[in-house]
Structure 1
Amino acid sequence: MKNGFFSSLPFRLLLGLLIGIGLGLVLEGSDQTLVGGAVLNIVVTAKYILSQFIGFCVPLIIIGFIAPSITRLGQNASRMLKVALVIAYVSSIGAALFATAAGYTILPHLNINPNVDGLKNVPDVVFALSIPPIMSVMSALFFSVMVGLAAAWNNSKNVTAILEEFQKIVLSIVTHFVIPVLPLLIGCTFCTLSYEGTITRQLPIFLIIIVIVMAGHYIWLTLLYSIAGAYSGKNPMAILKNYGPAYVTAVGTMSSAATLSVALKCAEKSVPPLRKDMVHFGIPLFANIHLCGSVLTETFFVMAVSRMLYGVYPEPGQMVLFCLLLGVFAIGAPGVPGGTVMASLGLITGVLGFDENGTALMLTIFALQDSFGTACNVTGDGALSLILTGYAEKHSINEQETEAAAKINAEI
C-alpha cells in the first residue's frame, strides 16, 4: 500500500511541487551568483521545452481518447445506452455550469490578488526548442467527432480498428512519456513561481479553494439523488446509504475503473429500489462516462487559476463553451487518476488560453484532490442508475431487453 502511494502520480506531482518550491526559494536568494543564475536558466529552459512537448501531445490525446469512444458507443447504440449517455452528459455539464456560477459568485470574495508587490522577474529562455503540434486543439476535437461519427454510421470496421489501435498507442505515449515528465514540468513551473514569489503568497487561497470544491461535490450529489428520487418515485437514501465503501475505495484508488467492483457490490445492495439489470448495465458504463465530480473540480479550479495568474476571470461565453466541450471530453476520458484533466488539456490551453504556468498549476491542484472528485463520480453513478431504473419502469422496458444491453455494455 505504501509502495503504491509513493509510486502514484499524485505523490510524484506533490514531490515535484515541494522540490520546485524549495529550489525556487533557494534561487531567490542566490540568483545573483554564477551557480544560482545558471541553475535558474536551466530550470526556465527545461520548463519551456517540457511545455512544448506536452502541447505537442495534446491533439494526439484528444484524437486517441475521443474518436474511439464515439465509434464504440455509436456502433453499440441502443435505447437505454442513448438515455445513459444523455443523462451522463447532462450531469457533467450541469456540474460544470454549477461550478462556473459558484466561481463567479464566490471567488471575487476571496483574496486572490494577482498583482502581488515585490515579485521578481524570471529570466528569458536560453534555448528555445519549438515543438509545434500537428494541429490545433479545436481541429483535433472536430476531427475526432466527425471521424468517430462517420465510422460509426458506416460501420467502418477497419477505421474503428485503427482508432482502437491508435488509442492504445496514445495511452502508451501518455503512460511512458507524458506522465513521467509531468512531475518535472510541475517542479520547474513551481520553481519559477516560487522564485517570483507568486505561489508562496497565494498558498492559503489554494487550501480554501480545495475545501470549497469538496463542499460543491456534496451539494451536487445531493441534487443528483434528489432529482433521481423525484423522477423514479423511489427513496434515494436507500441507495446512498450503501455507497460508503465505494466512496472510501475511490478516495484511495483515485480511479473509477479500479473502484468498479466495489461500486457494483454497493449498488447490488440497493436492489430494490434499483433494478438489478440497471445495476449491471449502468454502473460499469457510468464508471467510464460519468465524471461529474472531476468536471466540477476542474471548472472551479480553472477560474481560480485564471484569476490568480492572469488577473482576470474567463469571459462567460468562454466558460459556457468550456463546460459544453468538457462534458464531451469527460465521456471520452479514461477512468484513471487524472484522466479528466489529461483528456481536457486542449480545452484549458485552446479555449481558455492558459500558458505552461496555468497548465502546470491546474495539473497539480487537480491531482491533490482528484481522489475526492473520483469519489463524487462513483457515488453519483448510483443516482444515474436510479434514473435509468425509473426510465425503464415508466416506459415498460422489461429486463430481458436491458440484459441484452448489458451484454453490449460489456463490449464497450
Structure 2
Amino acid sequence: MGKIRGDFGLILRLLVGIAIGICVGLWASNMSGVGEVAQTVPSSASNAVMQVVGSIKHICGQFIFYAVPLVIIGFIAPSITRLGKNASKMLVTAIGIAYLSSIGAAFFAMTLGYTFIPMLETPGRLDELISLPDLLFRLDIPAPMAVMTALVTAVVLGITTLLTESKTFETLLSEFERMVSMVVSYFIIPILPLFVACVFAQMAYSGSLTKQLPVFLQVIVIAICGHFIWLAVLYGIAGLISRRNPLEVARHYGPAYLTAVGTMSSAATLPVALSCARKSKVLSRDTTDFIIPIGATIHLCGSVLTETLFCMTIAYLLTGVLPSVATMCLFAMLLGIFAIGAPGVPGGTVMASLGIVIAILGFNEQGVGLLMAIFALQDSFGTACNVTGDGAIALMVDGIFNPKGEHLQDGS
C-alpha cells in the first residue's frame, strides 16, 4: 500500500504541477493581451512573471542535467561489477534490441503514414509563437561530462574494475551509487514537479498549447496512438521472452511517463524511470540499474516513430505526394542507427538525424523548420514512449540472461 501511495503521490504532484503551469502561462498571456491583439506589448506584470518562471525552469533544468551523467555512472558502473561476465553480452543485446525496436517503430509509422496521411485534411500555415521574455536571473551549472561520455565512462569503469578484480574500486563504485541514489531521492525527484510546471507555463504563454497544437492535431493523435500500440507490442514480446507478467513492469511507469511528458527528455526522466523500474517484482535489481540508464540513451522508439510519421506528413504537404517505399525504408534503417547515438534531450532525435532528413528525403529549410516545429509539439509524448519502452527492454534482457528469475527485486 505504501508503494501505491508513493506512485500516486508523485503522479498527483506532477499533474498538479502541469495544471498550475498551464494556468500561470494562460494568465500571463491574457494579462499581456497576446492572445487577443497580435502586436500588443506584454504588460510589465506578465513579463515579470514569465521571467521568474523561465529563471526557475532554467536553474532546475541545469541541476537535473548536471546530475544525469552522475546518475549514469553511479548506476551502470556498479551494476556491471555485480553482473560479472554477462555485462558485455547484455550490453550488445540491449543495443541490438534497441535498434530493432527503433526500426520496427519506424516501419510501423510508415504503415500508419501510407494508410492515414492521404485521408487528412491539409492544414494551413503554422502560426508563430510568442517570444518568451529574457530570464530574470541565470545560473548555469555545466554537466561534468556529456551523456554519451558518461555512458562510455561507466562501461569502461565497470568492465575494467571487473577484469582487474579491484575490490577497492568496486567498493568505491558501490558507495558512489548510494550517494547518487540520495541525490535522486532527495533533490531531483522533489524539484521535478516545479520544473514541469515551469515548462507547461512557458508552453501556455508562448501559444504552443492553443495555436500550434490544433494545426497538426490529427497527425499528433495518430502518433500518440501509435506509441501505445508499439508499447503494447514491446511489452507483449517482453512477456513472451521472459515468461513473466509484463504488466508488473508497465504498471509502475505512470510517474516516469508523466515526468517525460513534462521534461521532454529521456535523460532528465532517468531518475524517475529507475525508481519506477525498481518497484517491479519481475526485474532483477542489477539488470534494472544496467539497462534503464542505457535505454535512456540508446532507445528512442517513440521519437523515431513520430519523426518518421511527421517526415511523411511534411513531404506530403510540401510536394503533394508521399515519399516512395524504397526511400522510406532506407530512411528508417538509417534513422534507427542515428537514434542510438542521439542525445536524450528535447529534440535530440531530430537534431541527430537532420543529415539523413536532408540527404534522403530532400527537405529544404522550410521542410526542416516544419519538422522541428511539429516535432516539438509532441516531443513530450514521444519521450514518454521512449522511457516506458525501456522497461520492456529491461524485461527482455532479464528474461534472456536471468531465465530462472534469480535475485528479483522485492518491489521496494
Q: Give the TM-score normalised by the residue count of structure 2.
A: 0.62
Whole-angstrom distance in 2 between the partners of 1:350 and 1:69: 31
Q: How do 1:93-242 residues align onto structure 2 when only pairs under 5 Å count?
A: 93-103=99-109, 106=112, 109=117, 116-200=126-210, 201-202=212-213, 204=217, 207-220=221-234
Partner in structure 2 of residue 23 of structure 1: 24
Q: Deviations over 1:131-170 (max 9, x none)?
A: 1122233332222222222111111111111111111111
Which deviates more from structure 2 when the two are superposed, residues 105-114 or residues 34-43?
105-114
The number of residue pairs the alignment matches comes to 332
1:62 aligns with 2:72: yes
Whole-angstrom distance in 2 between the partners of 1:95 and 1:191: 33
- Per the alignment, do residues 101 and 185 of structure 1 end up closer, same or farther by CA in structure 2, a change over 3 Å counting? farther
- The answer as to whether partners of 2:62 and 2:140 remain within 8 angstroms in 1 is yes
SS in 2 for 1:125: coil
Q: Deviations over 1:263-321 (max 9, x none)?
A: 49xxxxxxxxxxxxxxxxxx77666656699899843136648999xx99999757514
Whole-angstrom distance in 2 between the partners of 1:374 and 1:136: 21
Whole-angstrom distance in 2 between the partners of 1:115 and 1:347: 21
Whole-angstrom distance in 1 between the partners of 2:74 and 2:222: 35
- Per the alignment, do residues 88 and 41 of structure 1 end up closer, same or farther by CA in structure 2, a change over 3 Å counting? closer
- The answer as to whether partners of 2:304 and 2:349 remain within 8 angstroms in 1 is no
Q: Deviations over 1:302-357 (max 9, x none)?
A: 6648999xx9999975751432689xxxxxxxxxxxxxxxxx5599599849x9xx
Whole-angstrom distance in 1 between the partners of 2:77 and 2:351: 20
- Per the alignment, do residues 114 and 123 of structure 1 end up closer, same or farther by CA in structure 2, a change over 3 Å counting? farther
- Per the alignment, do residues 179 and 212 of structure 1 end up closer, same or farther by CA in structure 2, a change over 3 Å counting? same
Gaps of 5+ in 1: 229-235, 265-282, 327-343, 390-401
Whole-angstrom distance in 1 between the partners of 2:391 and 2:72: 25
Deviation of 1:54 (Å): 1.9
Which deviates more from structure 2 when the two are superposed, residues 246-255 or residues 21-30?
246-255
- The answer as to whether partners of 2:299 and 2:339 remain within 8 angstroms in 1 is no
Q: Cα RMSD (Å) of the superposition?
A: 4.9
Deviation of 1:30 (Å): 0.6
- The answer as to whether partners of 1:62 and 1:140 remain within 8 angstroms in 2 is yes
Q: Deviations over 1:346-372 (max 9, x none)?
A: 99599849x9xx9998667755996x7
- Per the alignment, do residues 324 and 293 of structure 1 end up closer, same or farther by CA in structure 2, a change over 3 Å counting? closer
SS in 2 for 1:7: helix
Whole-angstrom distance in 1 between the partners of 2:377 and 2:180: 20
Q: How do 1:201-350 residues align onto structure 2 when only pairs under 5 Å count?
A: 201-202=212-213, 204=217, 207-220=221-234, 246-254=245-253, 255-260=276-281, 263=282, 298-301=300-303, 304=306, 319-323=336-340, 348=348
Whole-angstrom distance in 1 between the partners of 2:21 and 2:122: 22
- The answer as to whether partners of 1:186 and 1:361 remain within 8 angstroms in 2 is no
- Per the alignment, do residues 17 and 373 of structure 1 end up closer, same or farther by CA in structure 2, a change over 3 Å counting? same
Whole-angstrom distance in 2 between the partners of 1:137 and 1:369: 16
Deviation of 1:50 (Å): 1.8
Whole-angstrom distance in 2 between the partners of 1:363 and 1:97: 20
Whole-angstrom distance in 1 between the partners of 2:176 and 2:350: 23
Deviation of 1:118 (Å): 4.2
- Per the alignment, do residues 72 and 96 of structure 1 end up closer, same or farther by CA in structure 2, a change over 3 Å counting? farther
Whole-angstrom distance in 2 between the partners of 1:360 and 1:161: 45
Gaps of 5+ in 2: 33-41, 254-275, 316-330, 354-371
* Percent identity (aligned): 25
Q: Deviations over 1:362-412 (max 9, x none)?
A: 667755996x74774587579x45x987xxxxxxxxxxxx89xx58999xx
Whole-angstrom distance in 2 between the partners of 1:294 and 1:143: 16
Whole-angstrom distance in 2 between the partners of 1:112 and 1:68: 52
Whole-angstrom distance in 1 between the partners of 2:379 and 2:252: 20
Letter in 2 for 1:211: C
